[in-house]
A and B are shown apart, each in its own frame.
Chain A
Amino acid sequence: MSATLKRRDVVAQLLEGRGELLVVAGLGSTAWDCTAAGDHPLTFPLWGAMGQAAMMGLGLALAQPKRRVLVITGDGEMLMGMGSLATIAVQRPANLSVVVIDNERYGETGMQATHTGSGVDLAAVALACGFRSASTLTRAGEIAALRSAIHAAPGPNFAAVKVVAEKIPILLPPRDGGLLKARFRRELLGAAADTQ
């Protein structure tokens, strides 16, 4: 079954009216998707550390238990850090959601196939690890419920959203890691964060 959902539409819908949501965006296409939805100080887009997006979400969720945390990342990035699904499930952060925008490709390196295109089921892995909810979404009508879950459902929650493998314009967030960190902390923790 070929995917019909468009990644930019899905991410824009997930981030619409984001409120106090804290976001970690995996490197590559999902960082561009989040930027297309609107660069935001409380989005931490990655330019490296492939495989670590979900774990950054865990560290953030444990540090900020009263805030909702969303990791948006790609299938290739998630496959590189699959053990983190086990680590997250053991910690059971109620405020964390991990959403994989799954085009079954390594989008930045020539659209080579990832394992998810050969049947590897990341939602099943997350469920087997002990995530409170985990599903694979393929229809536009399912995205609104996912957005609601990100903001309110007890986690950890996981969703893989199957999207069209398409080459679309790249929208770059700031690249300076120190800047991205500092603006996130200042927005979240106030100016006092600068001198901590």
Chain B
Amino acid sequence: MAADAQGVIDWPLEVHRALAASSVRQVGYVPDAGHKRLIELCHADRSMRAVPLTTEEEGIGLATGAWLGGERCALLMQSSGVGNIINALGTIKECRIPLPILVTMRGEYGEFNPWQVPMGQATPAVLEAMGVVVQPVREAAEVPAAVDAALRLAYNSYVATAVLISQRVIGIKSFQEQAAR
């Protein structure tokens, strides 16, 4: 597993490798700070098309179209974006479209912004209510294996899966601390 001299796990690199190894050809995303490096890696990879979206819901359409055309698609989003895909997820379930979703969490571990908390706290329940198989991850070292498993489950069993990457992994955002600098 990729790690720097201090032993810090480079999980975005591992996740990108897993996406490439699974022959993912389209990666739809709405940016999140926690996905910054992975988004850059996907854009730099000529074997996949990274597609920036205006809203996460567009990713559901993109993934459906991709699969109709024989290509695998994965989505990257923040937990707030999960709220934007709920109705469209019904199509994923009804049509049995394989769809791995990598969600960087807000509104949980050490959150600073109270407006993020309601959706962040509801994210697992909302996804499960729509038939998505949810895999929470709280340690960086667990991310690569969880993503690999989510990709396998999605593409082998034709379901939507979501890996929820905790703020504990991606770092706690604090505008107060940034403003004080």
Chain A residues within 8 Å of B, Cβ to Cβ:
22, 24, 44, 46-64, 81, 83-84, 86-87, 90-91, 177-178, 180-181, 184-185, 188-189, 193, 196
Contacts and interface: CB of A to CB of B under 8 A. Distances in A.
B69 interface: yes
B88 A84 contact: no
Interface stretch (B94-102, B109-117, B118-126, B162-170): B94-102
B70 A53 contact: no
A188 B65 contact: no
Interface in B67-115: 67-71, 73, 87-88, 90-91, 94-97
B51 A84 contact: no
B61 A59 contact: yes
A184 B95 CA distance: 12
A63 B61 contact: no
Nearest to B49: A62
Given A178-B94, A178-B96, A63 B52 contact: no
5 contacts: A52-B88, A62-B26, A83-B53, A181-B97, A196-B70
B61 A64 contact: no
A184 B64 CA distance: 12
Contact of B61 (A54, A86, A177, A184): A54
Nearest to B63: A59
A139 B135 CA distance: 54
Q: Which 8 A-B pairs give the minimum distances between C-beta atoms?
A: A59-B65, A55-B61, A63-B69, A83-B54, A52-B61, A177-B94, A177-B95, A56-B65
B10 interface: no
A56 B97 CA distance: 12
A55 B28 CA distance: 11
Q: Tell me which of A54, A87, A189 has the highest count of chain B C-beta atoms within 10 A of its own C-beta.
A: A87
B32 interface: no
A59 B54 contact: no
Interface of B: 25-26, 49, 51-55, 57-71, 73, 87-88, 90-91, 94-97
Contact of B26 (A53, A63, A181): A63
Contacts of B26: 59, 62-63
A60 B68 CA distance: 6
A63 B70 CA distance: 7
Contacts of B95: 177-178, 180-181
A25 to B, nearest CB: 12
Given A24-B65, A55-B62, A58-B65, A181 B49 contact: no
Contacts of B88: 48-49, 51-52
Given A52-B88, A87-B58, A91-B51, A188 B68 contact: yes
A62 B90 contact: no
Given A90-B52, A181-B96, A64 B69 contact: yes
Contacts of B70: 63-64, 185, 188-189, 193, 196
Given A48-B91, A178-B95, A180-B95, A59 B57 contact: no
A177 B93 CA distance: 9
Given A59-B26, A177-B96, A180-B95, A84 B49 contact: no
A66 to B, nearest CB: 11
B66 A60 contact: yes
B90 A49 contact: yes
A46 B52 CA distance: 24
Contacts of A189: 70
B65 A49 contact: no
